Amino acid sequence: MLAAIPFPSWIRPEIIPGLPFRWYGLMYVVAFGVCWLLFNYEARRRRSPWTEDAAAGFFFWAIVGLLIGARLFGTLVYSPEYYLPRPWFILWPFDEAGRFVGFQGMSYHGGFVGIIVATLFYCRTKKLSWLAWADIVAVSAPLGYTAGRIGNFTNGELWGKVSDKPWAMIFPNAERFSAKEAWVQKFADKVGIHVASMNDLVNLPRHPSQLYEAIFEGLFLWFVLWVIVRKRKVFEGFAVGCYAIGYGAIRFVIEYFREPDQGMGYILKLGDPTAPAWIYSTPWNFSMGQLLSTGMILIGVGVLVFGKGSARRAAVAEAAEAAARSHAKNDAKKLRKKLK
């Protein structure tokens, strides 16, 4: 008996077979729509003094920065061997055979950097407080991110490492392993997959890491930020720092269950350098996603430290100014008494 879940046969990347409209693209639209609704709700709750045009402009440039950053990172960082000799395919949604494939190489960390760069530029030109805007985006974005990972799942991509868990799934396009390998034979027997010949290439069950990310990087992180962090405006940038630390930490852990990017493998090997990428026994070998997530955590810590320090200095300055006003008021009273 097969101890795994076959990838649902009724799920297809295309919304309508034969037409160039994919669920993955639709999930981006859903994600942006959800973020925009939450962003507006929170802005009204905080009685933010921004005009609707300013909010729309900020959100527009956030989307532009996300898409450009995600695409550039996804192609030039993760697949440079293909895209550097063919840079036109970075912004071309067709493959070399002319088939529509969309923009499948999108990097979350690249989108994160792209949003920061684009919105910082927008706020600087409009003389607006970037941290005030970014705090609202930080508590809104993870729920939209859930839709993006569901889009990855419908594409049947970004699967996890080989697993014998009862919820592990067999993805039709996943890398297959040679039945000549002893560990493949043993694993196939354990999960109930019949190997007819040593020449077979076996498709083993995987962690559905896209769904792990949708649940924890999306729903769980959004719940924590929206229910707990959102109601505690300690200082400007507090939600941004919490988001960066929270996402970075969750993604770092989930990367242990997600197979490293094809052709890249582990970037930093402090454990067994010969350990296969599909075996969850390498806690000291780190993927590109883990290194970038570590960078996010450090950024988040930096934002919190800087923000707390700025808030403390502002409070001290305000107290000093209030004391000066009070002192001046008392001096004025004394002077009026003398004049009388």
Structural domain includes residue 258: yes
CB 306 within 8 A of CB 235: no
Give the separation between CA 206 and CA 274, rounded to whole angstroms. Answer: 20
Structural domain includes residue 100: no
Q: Helix H segments across the chain? A: 23-45, 52-72, 80-83, 108-126, 130-155, 182-191, 209-213, 221-223, 238-254, 288-339
Domain count, the chain: 1
Structural domain includes residue 116: no
User: Helix, strand, or coil here: 272?
Assistant: coil
CA dist 60 to 47, 77, 93, 186, Å? 21, 25, 22, 52
CA angle 278, 284, 290 (to 5 degrees): 75
Give the separation between CA 123 and CA 210, rounded to whole angstroms. Answer: 33
- Max CA-CA distance within the chain? 111
Residue 102 has a pLDDT of: 67
Sign, CA dihedral 119-123-124-130, equals negative
Question: What long-range pairs does 242-245 form, CB within 8 A, spacing at least 24?
Answer: 242/138, 242/300, 242/304, 243/138, 243/139, 243/141, 243/142, 243/300, 244/296, 244/297, 244/299, 244/300, 244/303, 245/296, 245/297, 245/300, 245/301, 245/304
Extract the tokens encoding 151: 């889009």
Q: Which residue in 279, 287, 265, 255 sits closest to 184, CA to CA? A: 279
Instruction: Please enumerate in sequence order all residues whose Cβ is within 8 A of that of 28, keeping only pairs 6 or more positions apart, or say none.
Output: 147, 148, 151
Residue 338 has a pLDDT of: 56
CA dist 305 to 153, 241, 243, 301, 313, Å? 37, 9, 14, 6, 12
Structural domain includes residue 114: no
Structural domain includes residue 107: no
The residue range of the domain holding 251 is: 5-50+128-176+207-339
Q: pTM for the complete prediction?
A: 0.86
User: Helix, strand, or coil here: 5?
Assistant: strand
Residue for token digits 């043993």?
186
CA angle 77, 293, 169 (to 5 degrees): 85
Per-residue pLDDT of the chain (340 residues; tens, 9 = 90+): 677 899 998 888 888 877 777 888 899 899 999 999 999 888 888 877 777 888 889 989 999 999 999 989 888 888 888 888 888 888 877 777 777 666 766 888 999 999 999 999 999 998 888 998 999 999 999 999 899 899 999 988 889 999 989 999 999 989 899 999 888 888 899 888 988 888 889 999 999 999 999 999 999 999 999 999 998 878 889 999 999 999 999 999 999 999 887 767 788 877 776 666 555 556 788 888 999 999 999 999 999 999 888 777 766 777 776 666 666 566 556 555 555 5
CA dist 152 to 31, 219, 287, Å? 13, 16, 19
Q: Which residue in 82, 46, 99, 83 sits closest to 232, CA to CA? A: 46
Residue 336 has a pLDDT of: 59
The one-character DSSP state at 267 is E
CA dist 177 to 71, 161, 170, Å? 30, 12, 13
Q: How far apart are the first and last CA of the chain?
A: 102
Structural domain includes residue 73: no
